[in-house]
Amino acid sequence: MRQRDRKMLRWLLDEEMRPFWRVGRDENATNGLLRKIRHALGVPMEEVAEKVGLTVSMAFAFEKRELSNSINIKSMGRMA
């Protein structure tokens, strides 16, 4: 990926992250954060799963657990 493309993706990510800047004040603060970051960066789930050493279905399960607010901070960090 070219440097200019990466710069644009980072800017888009900043825009996506804007609602999460005050994350500590919300009850379900990370609602969809993993998926939004992955989509903003254009990273396929297969690549994420490979990097963290999971199957694709397990990686999707992490995103789903985040949406239901049943993911722990260690798992969030691993996916991040």
- Please report where in the chains the tokens 């939004």 appear, as a residue: 36
Provide the domain limits for residue 7.
Answer: 3-79
To the nearest 5 percent, what fractions of the chain are helix, strand and coil? 70, 0, 30
pLDDT value for 70 = 81
Q: How confident is the model at residue 28, as a pLDDT?
A: 65
The model's pLDDT over 17-72, given as tens digits with 9 standing for 90+, comes to 877 666 556 666 667 888 888 888 899 999 999 998 999 999 999 888 888 878 87
What is the total count of domains within the chain? 1
| pTM metric for this prediction | 0.58
pLDDT of 47: 92
The single-letter code of the amino acid at 64 is K
Q: Distance (Å, rounded) from C-alpha 39 to C-alpha 64? A: 15
Q: Which helix or strand (DSSP H or E) is residue 33 part of?
A: helix 33-41
Looking at this protein, which amino acid is placed at residue 17?
M
Answer whether 30's CB lies under 8 Å from 66's CB: yes
